[in-house]
A = this chain, B = another copy of it.
Amino acid sequence: MVGKLTIQDIARLAGVSKATVSRVLNAKPDVDPATRERILQIMQEQGFVPNVAASSLAGGRSRLIGVVIPPLTWPLITEILRGVSEVVEQSSYELLLYSVAHDLGDYEKNKGTVIDRILASHLASGLLAVYPGSSIPHLTKLYDQGFPVVIIDDRETPTHVPWVSADNQTGAAAATRYLLQLGHRRIAFIQGPLEYEVSLKRYQGFCEALKEAGLTPDPELVQQGNFMAKSGLPGAKQFFTMEKRPTAIFAGNDQMAYDVLEDAEAHGVRIPGDISLIGFDDIPSSAYTRPALTSVRQPFYEMGRRATELLLSQLDAPRPVPTSYYPAILPLAMQNTSANYLQLPTELIVRASCTSPR
């Protein structure tokens, strides 16, 4: 085990007081450069790592950032988390992971409580909320009270809490336009849960493009799913058994597009031969389906990165000098302070699941 070094020890070795060591640890400006160097040197040599518990207790700030995420079954969470952890790793912070619940019902129910507990335990000094859904008002209150919060979401509720999202509507419109350009007129849509703004945004983008082309969305061609695996199956079956089938299906996310793929096989429908298919999210496995799925890529990784940088910039705002014992925070984080609201563009990834209708 690593030796249990304290500030005390470093102070003794450097011939200074504990206070001075603490100062260089926290990058306070008023320390003699030479002394600072010497202390940093010794800390390096001895492999000193400050006791986080003690410093949060004493300082009230905890070098931990909490991440509240929906169930890890959503593949996209992985990508977001990857972006998050990559940035966190470069900083002096650590990641506290709160996976809220395992099904949608619980998720919505528990989120408020969980957030309260996170705060009350005084563990995290900042919060990154991924798709917080209904707790946005709660998070807003928090933020207004001075607690650093960043949201990754297509915000459901107007809020001034810093957020990062993807431009779902534009992305959906682009996908729909692509199908229209291929010549499709009967385009079906499988919607996500209506409680989520994302679902609406995508639907709006879909309608927007349709209207541009002089078409009206046909209610019969809109089915409901919930973004989870298997939830697109009923909708798919619906479309496949219709008298006048759609020539293309736009699934609200890739998971549900997979369901269409699966059900197509069962119904002897060839994709894209008989019906074209397009998804949303472009999760990694979509490159490997047969046919490979054309999809709208959300920049999850990038969203994770940017959101974390935003959060760090909030946390570090009071810190005047970046010359710390800890690795420097990425410069990007510093630049971000001006832009608290980021809507990142999506990208249409064209693969093999769409053709012109026969």
Contact = CB atoms under 8 A, between A and B. Distances in A.
Interface string A69-89: 001110101110110011001
A2 B57 contact: no
Contacts of A47: 116, 120
Contact of A82 (B99, B117, B289): B99
Given A75-B284, A290-B289, A290-B290, A53 B57 contact: yes
Interface string A131-175: 000000000011001010000000000000000000000000000
Nearest to A259: B288
Q: What range describes how many residues of A lie at the interface? A: 35 or more
Interface stretch (A26-34, A90-98, A184-192): A90-98
A122 B141 CA distance: 32
Contacts of A64: 96, 123
Contact of A258 (B71, B147, B288): B288
A121 interface: yes
Given A288-B261, A288-B289, A72 B62 contact: no
Nearest to A73: B82
Nearest to A54: B57
A345 interface: no
A5 interface: yes
Residue picked from A1, A56, A81, A116, most chain B C-beta under 10 Å:
A1
B95 A97 contact: yes
A145 B289 contact: no
A50 interface: yes
B94 A95 contact: no
A119 interface: yes
A96 B94 contact: yes
7 contacts: A64-B96, A73-B82, A81-B97, A85-B97, A89-B99, A97-B97, A285-B288
B56 A1 contact: no
A49 interface: yes
A94 B123 contact: yes
Interface in A219-270: 229, 258, 261-262
A291 interface: yes
A333 B272 CA distance: 50
A116 B1 CA distance: 7
